[in-house]
Homo-oligomer: A and B are copies of this chain.
Amino acid sequence: MRVNYEKWSLRKKHFWLRIWEDYEIGYLDRDLIPILVVLNRDREIYTTSSCSGRIVIVDGNIPWTREETSVVFKSHIPITTSDLVFIYEKPPRKAYWLIVTGPIIHFSTTSFRKAVEVLKRARGVGFKHSGIMHVSTSRGVFTELVTGVYMTQLLRLQDEYIVAPEYLNRILLVFNKALIEGKLRLQKLYEELQKYLPENLDSQVEEELNKRNIKLVEQKPIEIFYNMCRDVCRALINIY
Contacts and interface: CB of A to CB of B under 8 A. Distances in A.
A230 B203 CA distance: 63
Interface residues of A, number: 41
A76 to B, nearest CB: 20
Contact of A133 (B63, B130, B148, B163): B130
Contacts of A167: 160, 162
B143 A134 contact: no
A133 B134 contact: no
A123 interface: yes
A67 B174 CA distance: 18
A134 B162 contact: no
Interface stretch (A12-20, A25-33, A112-120, A212-220): A112-120
B157 A162 contact: no
A134 to B, nearest CB: 7
In the A-B complex, the 5 residue pairs with the closest CB atoms: A131-B131, A132-B132, A64-B148, A131-B133, A151-B152
Interface of A: 1, 61-65, 95, 112-113, 116, 119-120, 123, 129-135, 143-144, 146, 148-154, 157, 160, 162-164, 167, 170-171, 174, 178, 181
